[in-house]
Amino acid sequence: MHRWITRFFALMTLGPVALWAACALAVASLRGVYGCRIDAAGIHPCDLHGLAAGETAAMLGILASQGPMIFGPLVLLSAAAWGLYALIRRLRRGAR
C-alpha cells in the first residue's frame, strides 16, 4: 500500500511539472525549428510538415506561459500532502 501511495503522490507532484516542461520545449522547438509565431495575441498560421498546427501551437503557448499558475497550486498541495503522509508514516514507525 505504501508504494502505491508514494507513486500516486509522485505522479501528482511531478506529472504537472513534466507536462509544463514538455509544453515549453514544444513551443521552443516550434519557434526555433519551424519559425512559428506563438504569442498571446491570437492564433497565427503554423505549417508543421503540411499540417495546420496554429491552434495547437497557441494552446501549447498558453500552457507554457501560464503553466505555473495553472499547475502550481496542484503541485504545492500534492507536495504538502506527500510530506504530511511521510511525516505521519515516520512518526508511526518510530512509535513501534
Cell digits for 77? 498541495
The total of structural domains in the chain comes to 1
The amino acid at 77: L
Does 10 reside within a domain?
yes
Decide: helix, strand or coil at residue 39: strand
Q: Determine the average pLDDT of the residues in 72-84.
A: 93
pLDDT exceeds cutoff 90 at 18: yes
Containing domain of residue 16, as a range? Answer: 2-90
Does 41 reside within a domain?
yes
What pLDDT does 2 receive?
A: 81
Residue 66: name the closest of 14, 23, 10, 25 by CA.
Answer: 23
Does 84 reside within a domain?
yes
φ/ψ of 45, rounded to 5, equals -65, 135
Does 58 reside within a domain?
yes
Does 96 reside within a domain?
no
Indicate whether this model's pTM tops 0.85. Answer: no
